[in-house]
Structure 1
Amino acid sequence: MEKRTLKDWIIATRPWSFPASFIPVLAIGAYLYYRYGTTSDAFHGWNLMLALPMMMLFQAGGNLLSDYSDYKKGVDLPGSLNGVRHIQSGKFTPKEIRIFGIILLSLAVFIGITLLFIAGFYLIWIGLAGMIMAFFYAYIKYHALGDLEILLCYALLPAIGTSYIALDKLHPSVIWICLPFGLLTVAILHANNTRDIQNDSRAKITTLPILIGGHISQWIYFFEVIIPYILIVLFIILKEIPLLSLITFLTLPMALKNLKQMMKANPNNEQELIGLDQTTAPLQLIFGILYTLSFIIMSII
């Protein structure tokens, strides 16, 4: 076993994926402050500061347990294109990755319990649902439900939870306000799974692209990337979000570039889809930051 540094342990959690977990809290928190917080003394901003590390710990722990399951299942083998190599390279043992994941999830649960006492025990069902899906993400992913779980874990549930911890009640509007960045988050996984159709089929697991086929998967990705921009325009027309939210369209060139790669690719040739998940991730990040900034700026001016 080679010597490991703190950096190695951090990299094993896949920190580049963390925008999927912190964007929901930031964006929905900023939206709630824009819509309700400026006229209410009951906006609990400090609760959001606890929610941010909790969400990232949940994601990091889930990533590690997923990597452990993928290794044991034979999904991640030498030559696979997903870039996860901390077990295959011998830097970490499978047991270490599993224990590390459990420790991080335990820390997330501790913060979650703290939030229950601060914000109220009506949050417990959201916490239980998130914990179950984090622990069993690999099993869910292997049965073609990974896309649905990502939408729940990194859009709908965080949006509902953020509404409760920020303003002590559910504002139903957050359920659709979270969809623009939520769909882009799902697109990251969908790009990954579309690329890995052959690899995952060899491992005898079933992802959504395997179930529906490569060509339909290309169109699913197309709609996951395009619909967020349509929703932005629709929400502005309905006066749910400010006109300034059109700044998210600054990411449209990135989106079109990704769509070009996906739609021109042969879905049976994984080489043509290399890197698409990695370029979808910054699209989600920048879109989410601009979305958040539009609410913050309009709350100030």
Structure 2
Amino acid sequence: MQAPAKASGLSGVKYIIAIASGKGGVGKSTTTANLALALQAQGMKVGVLDADIYGPSQGMMLGIPSGTRPQPVGDNGMKPVIVHGLQVMSISLMIDENTPMVWRGPMASGALQQLVTQTQWENLDFLLIDMPPGTGDIQLTLAQKVAVDGAVIVTTPQDIALLDAKRGIEMFRKVDIPVLGIVENMSTHICSQCGHEEHIFGAGGGERIARDYDTELLGCLPLTLEICQQADSGNPTVAADPDGAVSLIYGDIAKQLMSKVERQSGSAAKVPQINIVED
């Protein structure tokens, strides 16, 4: 039996979480894929919506074979692709992988709306939305059209990444989407030869943001070659090494997210109102 849709929510989906970042290159898509698998390991039914219209990467990260297309349903519906036990939808499943998305903002927003409204999710506990970096059209479209339960901000310890992460937090708060917490990627570098651990991008940045913005640091992930190689091979860390130290960190973050959304689920879902104010 399908889960009922919330106000501007999605039929078949219980909780919707946006995974976002203020800038690119901080590991947001890698975090999305591994958190989805970590939630699944906790017994949840999980879906992933790749909302990065211009640079979709979930197809590659989750090992979806090139040329895979979603199965059409009825006149304008489609079923998500199943991979690693996850239900997955991405613009990359509609186009050739080498085709650039040379679209203006309204076209990209329209494509996202079609992915959101036409995908027929089946009894999901969690839908993770892999957002594009920044605070533009796609983010506003999502906030207007979908009853998102919360957002996770992904950053690195670098000052410039932290500055952009702050903008991301402020954006979600302006559209009344609660920020569930911060994930700090590349927190430390662990030498593959000697095991020495070093804060090569700075230390404590994620914790400072969490404190300044009254949210939580959900977890810190190290910079390791294995995480990159596993994502590039289509077999993310939580699937490739479920009992490893990194997978345990993702598992702990997943448990925190489950607890947070369940605690706030008693409040009625509402569609955020966007107010544009001239400075």
TM normalised by structure 2 equals 0.31
Larger Rg: 1
